[in-house]
């Protein structure tokens, strides 16, 4: 029975005792494979294939790497102090292709840069919306997270329908999980929730290995005893004053940012922004430039607090956006002062506004507000040297662009209420 099964259909099969094994040919399989390869130039094809694959793996960034492994930790992060070496394997550098295979992360000429996925918190606000315009123009995918506390949908509406653009109505005090490469954190109500929002965004950056940029402020210098202010100056802030909630909130945000950098190895960047103005600025938010412009357009007196001799520097929004992007893409953590070192007293600013909008606009003096800094002017030496950045737009050039936008928003068109017909260039930051 057994032999029937084994030799079925093979009547001529030799008996087992006459079996002799074939002579041993140890290289037979190797020589057969080699002959196969050499036939019809197959070897050449294999070599070309290997070359193409290595080229692709060298130059294409691995930015769409999977999410970092989820831990059981709650999303609202407390700071974990563990050594940088043990940081998330999916660190920003690895995800962006900046690892050993591609130390510079530079893309060879002729190849299109791969778009990044970027979150802009507060992206429907004044600065945020201009930043979003630049990122979208560069070909990135942008997710705006905003609760419209001071921001407006109108600021980003022109991107609706673009598949690279998403808008999420969300309060950053609540955790949020998104897979992104970079986080520009601009959302900032002047309240303690600032700290919670920053903590949430840092937690997100740590979890997904994204690079995080904090928009801090010159207010961290308080009423400065050093002039102009360098980044090394620690400031002079009243911790219990009427302005402290914002100032101390930003100082704490900087502290948290550095702790996440040192403790958890998160890639961070810190910008200290000085007074910025431009189209889409909130009309009635109490900032001095928007106050003066709105008052002059409405034919109201320009209110100057104190004697008007306190100084500020004013930066046009496109200069700031350029600085923020250079900082995010560069190698340096900061903090960096981003501001225009041109210094104006409040009275000088009022004069520029009169020149631009209405030479007959009146000036009205009021008692100064508590803790109003006397002087504010950035030292931008560090940004010049390390980011190759400096502002380009002077107040006299930038103000008319803002006036045009304000006039349109206050009166609904360009004709009413003023004398300056400057064209609105709000969309290009």
Ligand X SMILES: NC(=O)c1ccc[n+]([C@@H]2O[C@H](COP(=O)([O-])OP(=O)(O)OC[C@H]3O[C@@H](n4cnc5c(N)ncnc54)[C@H](O)[C@@H]3O)[C@@H](O)[C@H]2O)c1
In the set 91, 147, 313, 337, which binds ligand X (CB under 6 A)?
Answer: 147
State whether the Cα torsion 191-196-198-201 is positive or negative.
Answer: negative
In the set 61, 125, 335, 400, which binds ligand X (CB under 6 A)?
Answer: 125
| 88 part of the interface to ligand X, by CB under 6 A | no
Minimum distance from CB of 282 to ligand X (Å)? 5
Cβ closer to ligand X: 91 or 276? 276
Burial class of residue 211, CB neighbours in 10 A (0-12, 13-18, 19+): buried
In the set 173, 237, 288, 297, which binds ligand X (CB under 6 A)?
Answer: 173
In the set 36, 148, 160, 234, which binds ligand X (CB under 6 A)?
Answer: 148
| 189 part of the interface to ligand X, by CB under 6 A | yes
Minimum distance from CB of 207 to ligand X (Å)? 19
| Beta carbons of 239 and 248 less than 8 angstroms apart | yes
| 356 part of the interface to ligand X, by CB under 6 A | no
Q: Which stretch binds ligand X (CB under 6 A): 4-12, 34-42, 122-130, 402-410?
A: 122-130
Minimal CA–CA distance to 214: which of 336, 52, 60? 336
| Tokens standing for residue 353 | 């506004």
| 133 part of the interface to ligand X, by CB under 6 A | no
Q: Which stretch binds ligand X (CB under 6 A): 117-125, 260-268, 327-335, 351-359?
A: 117-125
| 150 part of the interface to ligand X, by CB under 6 A | yes
| Tokens standing for residue 192 | 């303690």
| Per-residue binding letters, 195-214, with ligand X (x by CB under 6 A) | --x-----------------
Task: Give the number of residues in contact with ligand X, rule: CB under 6 A.
Answer: 29
| 188 part of the interface to ligand X, by CB under 6 A | yes
SS3 at position 20: coil
Minimum distance from CB of 429 to ligand X (Å)? 11
Greatest Cα pair distance, the chain, in angstroms, is 123
In the set 118, 143, 186, 304, which binds ligand X (CB under 6 A)?
Answer: 186
| 172 part of the interface to ligand X, by CB under 6 A | yes
Q: Which residues contact 231 (CB under 8 A, 6 or more apart)?
A: 272, 334, 335, 336, 337, 379, 382
| 348 part of the interface to ligand X, by CB under 6 A | no
DSSP state of 395: H
Minimal CA–CA distance to 269: which of 377, 177, 183, 140? 183
268-273 and 336-338 as β-strands: parallel, antiparallel, unpaired? parallel
Cβ closer to ligand X: 119 or 124? 124
Please list the helix, strand and coil fractions of the chain in percent, rounded to the nearest 5, in that order.
40, 15, 50
Cβ closer to ligand X: 145 or 256? 145
Tell which positions 216-255 bind ligand X, by CB under 6 A. Answer: 217
Residue with token string 């550098």:
93
Q: Which stretch binds ligand X (CB under 6 A): 15-23, 73-81, 186-194, 414-422?
A: 186-194
Minimum distance from CB of 277 to ligand X (Å)? 7
Question: Which residues are designated catalytic?
Answer: 246
Q: Which stretch binds ligand X (CB under 6 A): 123-131, 156-164, 353-361, 363-371?
A: 123-131
141-146 and 117-121 as β-strands: parallel, antiparallel, unpaired? parallel
In the set 122, 222, 224, 323, which binds ligand X (CB under 6 A)?
Answer: 122
Tell which positions 38-67 bind ligand X, by CB under 6 A. Answer: none
Alpha helices by DSSP H, listed for 103-171, are 126-138
| 282 part of the interface to ligand X, by CB under 6 A | yes
SS3 at position 90: coil
Q: What is the DSSP string of 154-221?
A: GGTGGGTT-TTEEEEE--TTS------SEEEE----SSTHHHHHHHHHHHHHHHHT-EEEEEEEGGGG
Cβ closer to ligand X: 171 or 348? 171
Minimal CA–CA distance to 122: which of 194, 204, 211, 178? 194
Cβ closer to ligand X: 221 or 260? 221
Could you list the residues that contact ligand X (CB under 6 A)? 121-122, 124-128, 145-151, 171-173, 186-189, 193, 197, 215, 217, 273, 275-276, 282
């Amino acid at each position: 029975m057994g032999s029937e099964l084994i030799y079925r259909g093979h009547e001529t099969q030799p008996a087992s005792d006459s079996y002799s094994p074939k002579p041993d040919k140890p290289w037979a399989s190797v020589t057969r494979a080699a002959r196969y390869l050499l036939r019809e130039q197959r070897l050449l094809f294999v070599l070309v294939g290997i070359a193409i694959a290595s080229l692709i793996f060298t130059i294409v960034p691995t930015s769409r790497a999977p999410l970092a492994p989820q831990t059981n930790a709650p999303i609202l992060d407390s700071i974990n102090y563990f050594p940088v070496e043990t940081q998330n394997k999916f660190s920003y550098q690895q995800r962006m292709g900046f690892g050993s295979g591609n130390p510079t992360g530079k893309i060879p000429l002729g190849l299109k840069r791969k778009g990044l996925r970027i979150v802009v918190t507060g992206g429907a606000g004044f600065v945020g919306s201009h930043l979003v315009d630049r990122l979208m123009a560069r070909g990135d995918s942008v997710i705006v997270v905003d609760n419209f506390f001071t921001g407006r949908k109108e600021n980003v509406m022109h991107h609706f329908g673009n598949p690279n653009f998403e808008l999420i109505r969300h309060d950053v005090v609540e955790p949020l999980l998104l897979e992104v490469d970079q986080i520009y954190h601009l959302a900032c109500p002047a309240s303690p929730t600032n700290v919670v929002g920053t903590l949430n965004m840092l937690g997100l950056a740590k979890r997904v290995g994204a690079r995080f940029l904090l928009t801090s402020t010159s207010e961290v210098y308080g009423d400065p005893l050093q002039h102009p202010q360098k980044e090394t100056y620690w400031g002079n802030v009243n911790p219990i004053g009427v302005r402290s909630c914002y100032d101390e909130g930003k100082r704490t945000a900087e502290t948290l940012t550095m702790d996440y950098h040192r403790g958890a190895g998160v890639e961070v960047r810190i910008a200290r922004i000085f007074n910025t103005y431009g189209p889409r600025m909130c009309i009635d938010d109490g900032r001095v430039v928007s106050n003066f412009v709105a008052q002059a357009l409405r034919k109201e007196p320009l209110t100057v607090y104190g004697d008007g001799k306190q100084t500020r520097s004013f930066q046009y929004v496109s200069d700031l956006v350029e600085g923020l992007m250079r900082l995010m893409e560069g190698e340096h953590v900061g903090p960096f002062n981003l501001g225009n070192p041109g210094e104006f007293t409040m009275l000088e600013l009022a004069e520029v506004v009169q020149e631009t909008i209405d030479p007959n606009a009146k000036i009205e003096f009021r008692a100064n507000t508590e803790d109003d800094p006397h002087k504010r002017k950035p030292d931008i030496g560090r940004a010049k040297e390390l980011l190759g950045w400096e502002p380009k737009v002077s107040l006299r050039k930038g103000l008319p662009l803002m006036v045009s936008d304000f006039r349109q928003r206050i009166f609904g068109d360009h004709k009413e209420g003023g004398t300056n017909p400057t064209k609105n260039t709000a969309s290009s930051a």
